[in-house]
Amino acid sequence: MNAQRSAAARPVELKRVLSAAGRALAARGAGPFGWEELLDSPAPTTRKVGRACGDDELSSAEIRVLRGRVDAQALHVRHHDPHQGDVMSTAGEVVATLLAALEEVRVQALGARVMPGVADNLRELLQRQCTERGYHTIQHRREVPLLDALAFHVRAIVAPQTLPPAAMRVLSAWADILEPLTCRLRERLVAELDEQELFAATCAAMIAGLGHIEGDSIVPVVRRPLHSPALQAEDLAPSEAQRESLSASVPFAGNQGLAAVSVERRTPTRRVRTELDQGGVSDGRADFATIAGSDAAGYRVFDATCDVVRDALELRPAEELARLRARLDELVVQHSHLVARLANRLRRSLLALERQDWTRDLDEGGLDTSRLARAVADPAFPLSYRQQRDVHTRDTVVSVLIDNSGSMAGTPIETAAVCADILARTLERCGVRSEILGFTTAAWKGGQVRERWVAAGRPPHPGRLNELLHIVYKSAETSWRRARDGLGLMLDASLLKENIDGEAVLWAHQRLLARPERRRILIVVSDGEPADETSRDANGAAYLERHLRRVIAAIESRSPVHLCAIGVGHDVTRHYRRSLTIDGPGQLGDALAGQLARVLGEDGGNTADGRSVAQARWRAGHWQE
């Protein structure tokens, strides 16, 4: 932080540092590349660096926005090949603009998945842009161009770590139209991130699917692409008469542009388009507006501009994190019996699955000693051979979402921190990726959001009235060694405030959906129902609980994610299908190991194409037990 303030006071030095960082990220060496023009160009999201002097110096947030602009430009230079544009060159103007915006999402995803700092900068940039466009207060989907809505939905799949809180209303408003399209191509979008042409072809087929929504009533409505900071797209905003004619509530997609997508010249596009046509875009269309909590479902957010997702290492100085980590290490030693039991049980469960993962009764391979008895009993009986299949646990990611509310203070949160630490270590040793997440609020009793509601005249039924704070203690891509100090932050009692479970479960679920692993497990650890006094008083006592129930029901019935929960002194079985209740925090270690072993041991199986049964059912649009 001190370094940022110091840099803010020296604009020339800041420009030099950002230019060097941009050249390094773009892999362009020391040659001139126009970073100074980018930093000094007028932009609605930040002031010129050259004006950062005296009382007008840039804040740390503005510096992150600047870094986001530089990172976006650098990633475009590094990962975009201008000579690979066959799909875009055969598209109409409107579709080409859409594809350009989605290409920026792709190149940013490539950088964000390996560089958490870049992801933070991009998220800050998008948060500022969303706020300036008023996306955090929209009431209807026609207030957001399809260009940005589609880009946000694709971003939620390939780069959820860059998704700003202010975009949640956009996702919610367009969910019932765009989720069925993006979900069908989810795995392909993630798999083709490194292939510019294939990714563009998949996106072109996805855009073509939009033509089936309202037929000829779709009209072109384009603004400058929010998701394309490196491009100079033209404003094609419609007249007021055109805006009023949008009875279909689809503000952007142009029928001429859709028709201009050539699916005959590019094999990948033709392949994806054929699959969409055969499967039917409307088949199994999930009502994701209900999941995301749109106005139609009765759940709203009054103001999302204060919501934040933060890495644990960003929330406290390094010295404070080191002190908290030392305290966590002491607790680990005090709970050595719990540590050993949890680690051993997890290791046994994972090894048991690996030992069972054999294909038997083959004509070649290793000798199957378990079948020797029948060969001895009947010498005419042929010997049996076996081969080891791909181990399921190696293609698994586990996410633990921990309630960081005030009621967890003391022994419960200490035990949760110890168990999370040991769980992350043990899973890493067994080759299973894991992430540890926490959810709380940034303030008691509504904070700034409540103040804005009061200033607005206390309108009735305002929706959620608090500032969300979602914490990433350890991401799936981060090793335990790098995340160990962040895990200690869980012991900071000042973080523990109120809990809004529904949106937290959605957030953790969305992160898992973006993962490439075939088996994805989400374990929620909570000691009570959602609790936010301000939201409850303004909307009714059961407001947050109803939303949580809808979220759980939707995930359990239509998602490939295995969702389960552990209630600490609180009965969660009436909310979660896979759940158990423990009497106290001392049982949490066994409960975590048991739930994880139970889910890993379930008959998840593999379909013929190697994907999990759950994912196959998800694509079919229904869930069968």
Secondary structure, 3-state, 385-401: EEEECCCHHHHEEEEEE
d(CA 177, CA 153): 11
- Shared domain for 129 and 64, answered yes or no, is no
d(CA 470, CA 464): 15
Among 26-35, 117-126, 256-265, 468-477, name the one with the lowest average pLDDT.
Answer: 256-265
The answer as to whether 369 is a domain residue is no
- Shared domain for 430 and 527, answered yes or no, is yes
- Shared domain for 278 and 342, answered yes or no, is no
Place of tokens 């905003």: 237
Residue 238 has pLDDT above 90, yes or no: no
From residue 593, how far is each of 91, 338, 520, 523, 590 by CA, in Å?
Answer: 52, 11, 16, 11, 5
pLDDT, one tens digit per residue, over 303-337 is 888 888 999 998 999 999 999 999 999 888 876 77
**Per-residue pLDDT, 353:** 57
Token pair, residue 245, equals 């004619």
> Exposed, middle or buried: residue 317 (CB in 10 Å: 0-12, 13-18, 19+)?
exposed
- Shared domain for 205 and 323, answered yes or no, is no
From residue 334, how far is each of 155, 411, 421 by CA, in Å?
Answer: 43, 12, 14
When comparing pLDDT for 346 and 82, which is higher? Answer: 82
Q: Give the distance from CA 259 to its chain's centroid.
A: 32
Position 407, amino acid: S
CB atoms closer than 10 angstroms to residue 293: 25
Answering whether pTM is above 0.95, one says no
- Which of 308, 301, 303 has the alpha carbon at shortest distance from 123? 308
- Shared domain for 240 and 211, answered yes or no, is yes
The answer as to whether 259 is a domain residue is yes
Backbone conformation region of residue 602, classed left if phi is above 0, alpha if psi is from -120 to 50, else beta = beta
Token pair, residue 585, equals 């925090």
When comparing pLDDT for 172 and 231, which is higher? Answer: 172
Residue 136 has pLDDT above 70, yes or no: yes
Residue 543: pLDDT band with limits 50, 70, 90 = confident
- Shared domain for 63 and 136, answered yes or no, is no
Among 163-167, 252-256, 455-459, name the one with the lowest average pLDDT.
Answer: 252-256
- The DSSP annotation for 273-324 comes to HHHHHHH-TTTT---HHHHHT-GGGT--BS--TT-EEEEHHHHS-HHHHHHH
**Per-residue pLDDT, 612:** 37
Mean pLDDT of the chain: 71
**Per-residue pLDDT, 439:** 93
From residue 533, how far is each of 458, 491, 538, 546, 569 by CA, in Å?
Answer: 15, 24, 9, 15, 21
Residue 472: pLDDT band with limits 50, 70, 90 = very high
SS3 for 439?
strand
- Shared domain for 94 and 231, answered yes or no, is yes
Q: Starting from the edge strand earliest in sequence, which strands make up the sheet with 433-441, in order?
A: 308-311, 468-474, 433-441, 396-403, 519-526, 561-568, 579-582
- Shared domain for 37 and 61, answered yes or no, is yes
- Shared domain for 321 and 245, answered yes or no, is no
Percent of the chain with pLDDT over 90: 10
Q: How many helices (H) and strands (E) does the chain have?
A: 28, 10
SS3 for 7?
helix
**Per-residue pLDDT, 163:** 84
The answer as to whether 375 is a domain residue is no
Pairing between β-strand 385-388 and β-strand 358-362 as defined by DSSP bridges: antiparallel
- Which of 56, 5, 231 has the alpha carbon at shortest distance from 48? 56
Task: Give the residue from 27, 62, 79 where a domain finishes.
Answer: 79
How many structural domains are present in the chain?
A: 3
CATH number at residue 534: 3.40.50.410
The answer as to whether 365 is a domain residue is no
The answer as to whether 508 is a domain residue is yes
- Shared domain for 329 and 411, answered yes or no, is yes
- Shared domain for 607 and 484, answered yes or no, is yes
Place of tokens 């602009």: 69
**Per-residue pLDDT, 36:** 52
Domain that holds residue 99: 86-297
The answer as to whether 364 is a domain residue is no
d(CA 168, CA 123): 13
- Shared domain for 146 and 233, answered yes or no, is yes
The answer as to whether 384 is a domain residue is no
Token pair, residue 66, equals 């600047």
Pairing between β-strand 433-441 and β-strand 468-474 as defined by DSSP bridges: antiparallel
Residue 295 has pLDDT above 50, yes or no: no
**339 close to 345: Cβ distance less than 8 angstroms:** no
Residue 390: pLDDT band with limits 50, 70, 90 = low
Q: Give the distance from CA 448 to its chain's centroid.
A: 25
d(CA 450, CA 441): 13
Sequence-ordered list of residues with C-beta below 8 angstroms from that of 1, at least 6 positions apart, any chain: 60, 317
The answer as to whether 380 is a domain residue is no
Alpha carbon distance, N-terminus to C-terminus of the chain: 51
Among 199-213, 219-233, 459-473, 498-512, name the one with the lowest average pLDDT.
Answer: 219-233
